[in-house]
């Protein structure tokens, strides 16, 4: 740990430094502010690209854990934690996944989603307790998110996860020489100083969202939730999703909208089953068995 941090000084961290390109931020016009943000946001995308190997390793690690009966837990405080909760919450409606499969742990609990509770990030013991409360084991993966790399709550959670032999993934936007760690996988997109000094909900937040989107989608692809580029395990819970399900079936099978809707109903409103029933010419019970034997992968079930 850097000696400055021991004294509470985080000014040396990349995420806390002043950005030379935004020194006159308060003097810019609205259009100039937008142009500056656009230029800086492009750096976040490039920084994520530099971490492609680590992100791919995270996808593989998590997919293997989930296939073996494990779970994924995102852990964070403030913006980082909220983005983890958001990504976890988006998986069930997008991929029809079990809500227990991917979960978000936020310092301060769900109240912290809408109310500032950043003071709670300093409680390392609370992070450890959150892991213990969920009975995390060696089957699980804990993904700690902290833009500046220093959040005690996150490290408390990751340390407890390691004690329980869970796989650990660490995300931050500072280099190892500024804050080293000893976790299984580290993802460190170096987005640089923020336009508004220290406001890591900006580029660091953008990089976080990009990485989490890639990781969770990549995992679901490996779990068989996708065919081609279609979300074939979509949860048909409202009119928009029903329309999407019908269009997926219609496009992939070249059926009329009316016939696709009828097939969807016969499948119990499950797109993956509808496709398999049609392509194999089988009933719903046989299709369910084929998918079970193929561990949910439609392409494998078609062989």
Catalytic residue among 16, 121, 194, 288: 121
Q: Is 90 a catalytic residue?
A: yes
Catalytic residue among 64, 90, 118, 124: 90
Other CB atoms within a 10 A radius of the CB of residue 99 amount to 11
Q: Where are the alpha helices (DSSP H) in the chain?
A: 3-6, 30-49, 52-67, 78-95, 124-133, 152-163, 203-222, 239-253, 257-266, 271-280, 284-293, 298-302
Is 144 strand, coil or helix?
Answer: strand
Answer for the pair 201, 80: CB distance below 8 angstroms, yes or no.
no
Q: Is 121 a catalytic residue?
A: yes
Distance CA 42, CA 19 (A): 15
The dihedral region occupied by 224, where left means phi > 0, alpha psi between -120 and 50, and beta the remainder, is left
Annotated catalytic residues are 90, 121
């Amino acid at each position: 740990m850097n000696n400055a941090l021991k004294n509470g000084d985080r000014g040396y961290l990349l995420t806390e430094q002043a950005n030379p390109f935004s020194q006159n931020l308060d003097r810019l016009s609205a259009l100039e502010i937008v142009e500056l943000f656009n230029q800086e946001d492009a750096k976040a995308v490039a920084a994520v690209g530099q971490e492609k190997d680590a992100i791919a390793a995270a996808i593989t690690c998590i997919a293997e854990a989930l296939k073996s009966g494990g779970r994924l837990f995102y852990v964070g405080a403030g913006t980082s934690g909220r983005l983890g909760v958001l990504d976890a919450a988006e998986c069930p409606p997008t991929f029809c996944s079990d809500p227990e499969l991917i979960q978000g742990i936020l310092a301060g609990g769900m109240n912290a989603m809408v109310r500032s509770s950043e003071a709670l990030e300093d409680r390392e013991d609370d992070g450890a307790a959150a892991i213990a409360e969920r009975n995390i084991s060696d089957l699980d993966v804990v993904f700690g998110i902290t833009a500046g790399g220093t959040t005690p709550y996150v490290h408390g959670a990751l340390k407890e996860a390691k004690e329980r032999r869970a796989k650990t993934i660490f995300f931050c936007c500072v280099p190892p020489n500024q804050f080293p760690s000893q976790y299984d996988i580290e993802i460190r997109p170096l987005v640089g100083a923020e336009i508004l000094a220290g406001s890591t909900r900006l580029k660091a937040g953008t990089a976080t969202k990009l990485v989490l989107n890639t990781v969770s989608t990549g995992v679901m692809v490996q779990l068989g939730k996708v065919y081609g580029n279609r979300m074939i395990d979509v949860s048909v819970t409202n009119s928009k999703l029903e329309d999407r399900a019908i269009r997926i079936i219609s496009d992939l099978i070249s059926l009329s909208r009316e016939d696709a809707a009828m097939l969807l109903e016969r499948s119990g409103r499950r797109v993956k089953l509808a496709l398999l029933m049609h392509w194999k010419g089988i009933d719903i019970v046989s299709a369910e068995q084929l998918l079970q034997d193929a561990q949910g992968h439609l392409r494998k079930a078609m062989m």
